Structure 1
Amino acid sequence: MTTYCPGTPHYPRLARRAHDQRSQLAALYGAIDFDAEPHRFTTDPTVESTLPRWVAERAPILADDRLVELIRTATLLGDVIADPYAALAQRYTVAELIDMLRRACRSGIDSVVDAPPELRTFLAAMEATPPWIDLRLVEEGARYSRLATALLAPFLARGAFLATFLNTYAALPMALTGALSGRRAARRVNETAGFFTVTTLPGALTRHGAGFEAAAMVRLMHSLVRYHALTHPEQWDHRVYGVPVPQIDQVPAGLVDIYLLAMSAARRGRTEFGARERAMLEFSRYRCFLLGLPEELLPTTATGVIELLHARAALLRDGFDDATCGALVRSTMSAYLRPGRSWFDRAADAVERSWSRAFFLGFCGGNRKQAAGMSVGFGIADAARVLVTAPFILGRFLAVLAAGRWSVLRDRVDEYTIGLVRARLTTYGVPEFTAEVRDPVSAHRHTP
């Protein structure tokens, strides 16, 4: 039976899940009023949101009670499964928490001596695939997603990463960790790219696959960020920012590729996904489930994906603070991501930066002045690099995509893309997923 939460007629289960955070983990969530809207959330039509006018109209979203309720609730939703385990940082070091989780992923929960019940709950929740995930499509979707991961993602990943720093309210948790300052910026970008890349390998998201373990590690890191932010209220004002790393802020990264597919479908007059797109969607939905996202934030149609992403942007207060967002953007753009310093590595680095700037420019609607104001300039040299390399980068992608549609070539294409994915992982370095979660008190001070 569904538990009803007053004032939430559309998503009572999700609202109850958010409210339960206070009773289940009072040490972290006891001070948060889950019936109050944080400053970052706004339905005021006179207040600027992060939804660009050239993307969609905001008014219909503000008038949609269902969407408003969904985003409001998800803005206050952390991870009721992983957060209690992260809160054990009072008794264990971060390294010990990581080690126990890694051993449980690789050898089972019984391999962890005196495993805390919070770890048992965490792992059991990830193992319990819900009925709303179609596992039959996940492996097929991974195969389709592997193509873009191998051939396009290396040139666009940094640009997509930058897009997550365009809003002060959403970017502050990353700034508090100090994880993107100085030389650590390159490691964070490569680890993030490595995570999304490794999950596309065959069988990676199965119970003992590398992607399953990587998802568990990333999920723990998110929870550790919440733990450290909420245990330092002098640095984290929940009345302004809500819950650190809320579930709604994980949607853009988890579904950005699906959003692009959905927009492409919409331009062709379709509201539903085709068979290939549906498989890719299910792969992304399952990956998001492993990261802790609830069913309500994982639509199954092109229209639903577009609505969700646009609603999040329409209800997130606009704000680009140079001390937070600008610093994150600059450190990420200045990071050198290649494993060596040979002439090829330096040339590849220059090409990748230009493509990332071009991709980021798309988030600004092609407005170069706006992008430059966010510390991402796109000059003549960048345009030249993109123009010269586009026939190879895009041409190869389209050629391999076409070849994969022929059954006689499908296995060879898959072998080729798997080899490229493994090569990309070597370039990114072995993902450690051991982000240093520093004390936010000494890491950053910010006032809205």
Structure 2
Amino acid sequence: MSMRSLLRSAFTSKLYVTVLFAIALGAALGLVAPGVGASLEPVGTGFISLIQMLIAPVVFCTIVTGVASAGELTSVGRVGVKALVYFEVVTTIALIAGLVVMDVFEPGRGLNADPNALQVSGSAQKYLRSGESQHWYDFLVNIIPHSVVSAFTEGNVLQVLLIAILFAIAIKALGHRGEPLVRGIARVGDAVFGVVKLVMYVAPLGAFGAMAYTTSKFGISTLTSLGSVIALFWATGIVFSLLVFGLIARLCGLRILKLYRYFKDELLITLGTSNYEAVMPQLMRKLEHLGAPKRIVGLVVPSGYAFNGDGVCLYLGFASLYIAQAFNVDLSLWQQIGLLAVFLITSKGSAGVAGAGFVILAATLSTTGVVPVVGIMLILGIDRFLSTMRGLVSLSGQIMGSLVVARWERCLDADRARAVLNREPVAPLAADDPDSTLPTDSVATAGNAS
């Protein structure tokens, strides 16, 4: 096959190639023609909105069919508890990692910022107002929707999760009479994943628009002025992912780099759009094909998007100490432990919150009163670059969550997972769509290879 044919095949059948090319092209356009790049913001946000409109029906259909087919309800509760234990342990490690890195490198020292001299811009006002109105119990109250319809229209994953679990329990209570309902919802789910397949064809366009807007708005000046902070956070995120998630992967009998290769499409889309929610539907399908049971993936992934923001937690420890160091506020070990304890609670309310990292940071700093909350202005300009790594770390956490819980439940097909990661032929699962919902090179491993 000629080089020209290989390139044409890569651009038409391998999503990661076109997404990577689109990211590079968008970054170049944003730097060369900032005006044009800024005008492309609707392209990126439009793609994210297309995916987000499908998340609620995907979560509902997956959880209902998974729970209703899971056997005894006690197993569902057991899976939920194990998932929450995993989420809490890893998010705690992420918070500690962020604090330790800042204590060691202290990039904020020497700035000598004056909190009284900082002016809060309009773009930060909404984060401050939202943060100051947050309470530790808000995420618990917000789990209950105003109505069944509002949970879907507002796109709150936790609310959809609650409705789906209750509906699945009600169907199981019907016995054999509920089986037609489960089959019907499963068919609706297949149709929704078909729509996901169509939307994913425009993923390169979405990544192009989002990256062009980011580089045009923030540009080289922002990168050079606070480049050391961005570089330190990215390095922290990469090391955290390779070490912590690498160890977790080994406990599951897998290798982290092979997992990242398998999920490269989802990682690149997150890199281009700074939004890891956009890859939830195809992430669930690929986890199932990897060997994690549908009943576990359907419960762990949606709840993980609400409770397992590893990237957000890494950022919270990092940003809070950066602000403290910039204001020459020396936090004792006990004060840092106090911040850690508060973050462990407030970080669980990040689901469905715009600018979640900023809102939680503002809420916690307002609650503790130790670090001036106006300090969020010091990192407002680079938050877009930090949010990209937040998304990548959090996505890594979602990948590992289902695998860990499946391993804990002794139902992870490790042999199948290793075969898929090694790009060896595997037998299709009963739930696999023969046409595949993945318009990527993973079609070869997710169906056609068999």
Compare the two structures and name the one with the higher helix fraction. 2
Shared fold by TM > 0.5?
no
Q: TM-score range with shorter-chain normalisation?
A: 0.3 to 0.5
TM-score of the superposition, structure 1-length normalised? 0.33
- The structure with higher relative contact order (CA 8 Å, sep 6+) is 2
